[in-house]
Structure formats: C-alpha cells, structure tokens
Structure 1
Amino acid sequence: MSNTPLQEDDANDPRGPGAWVAALILIGVGIVFLLQNMGYAIPGNWWALFILIPAVFALIGAWKAYAANGFGAAVIGPLITGIVLVALTLMFLFDLDVDWNVIWPAVLIVIGVLALGRAYSRR
C-alpha cells in the first residue's frame, strides 16, 4: 500500500502529529488573556475549553476509524468519548444547571446496557 504525500509528511514529522494542537492551544490561551486584558467579558469557566483538547483527539480517532473501516465498534468508543467531553465542556462553560444526582446513575446504566449488548452480540 502506498502512502499519500500527507501520510508521508505525518510519518516523517519529528514533532509528532500533535504539534499543531499545542500551537493552537497557545494561540487560544493568548487570545483569551488578550481579550481579558482589553476589558472584554470572558466567562469565568473559560478553563473548560481545555476539556475540548482530548475531545478533539477522540473525535479525530473516530473519524479515522470510520474512514478506514466504516461504522463499527472501533468508531463507537471514541465517538461517545468525544461527545461526552464536548457536552461536559458546554455544561461547565455556560454554567448549566445539571442535576448530577440523575446524570451519574444514568451514565452507569447506559454503560451497563452497552456492555451487556456487546457481550450478547459476540455469541
């Protein structure tokens, strides 16, 4: 199988594939501090944007798995992880009133149902 020029560039890059992410993080934090110093109102929970970093990697992983093999088990895990992290970011960033006493048990139930479904699908 031959590599495309993009794949060869990624494979030969000594900084690794996440170098551009680090640059974007620095730019984003710099913009937040600059806006804050210029008097613009920045949400108090702006730190929640850092939760988007692993969310982006999870969603990219889901996209790559989908592009390689179509929709399947390899896509579901990273996709759910990315969606959950984006949802958490939105909840913290906009200070949404969430009843965690309901959310956590519901999450455990969903994980249990998914694990049970996966166990039965392997038979």
Structure 2
Amino acid sequence: MPTEEFEKVKRNVGNLISPNGFFSTSRYLNIVLGFIAGCESTAEKIAVLFEITVDSQLDSVIFADIHTYSRMPEEREVLFSLGAVFIITHVKYNSDINVWKIYLKATDEGSKQKSEYLKLIQK
C-alpha cells in the first residue's frame, strides 16, 4: 500500500472505507503471508495485512467463499463484492510477523450513501 494511503488509513480509524473494486481475501494467514513475503516496506510503500470481521447477517455486504470455484482451492479465497463497506477499527504493527495490520469490520453503515453513489455512477 502506498505510504500516503496508509497514513490516511491510520488517521481514519473509526471511519468507513469502501474498496473501489472487488476485494479478494483468504481465510488462511499462511496463504496471506506468502503473498506479502516479497513486499517489504519502503519509504514509498508499506506492507499491510487486512484482518476482516464479518457478520453474515449483514444486508448490504455481499461476500462469498469461492474456494470451490478457484483454480487454487487451497487459498480458501473469499471475495467481497463491489461496494462492500467496512469500519477501520484499528491499525497496529504486528512484530511477530513484521507487518502492519489494518483491522476492518464489515458494516451496513453507509449502505444508503453507497447505493446512491452507485446509481450516480451508472448514470
């Protein structure tokens, strides 16, 4: 993640965030660590790990475990749809794995604004 964007995330703990595309994740930490192993932090970029908490009862957060459809089912991939909204709960450096962790919680908050924004984009 670009350092400037990471600093914005740190300043916005408690606020909403919505990725601008589909959001692919894995259920297994060792898989994720394999992806970020070659991504060392520099002055221009920070290696981060998103830890996401999701309540499956949420109305506006659409996600699916797609491992059975994947060419790499061992990744246990979970895909969040366009427009998923999360609250940044906290950001913390994890010295055990030498990476910054951004903790997100899926939420229905902001779903009205998201819906209006998506309608505007369609126009």
Q: TM-score, normalised by structure 2?
A: 0.22
Structure whose alpha-carbon radius of gyration is higher: 1
Higher strand share: 2
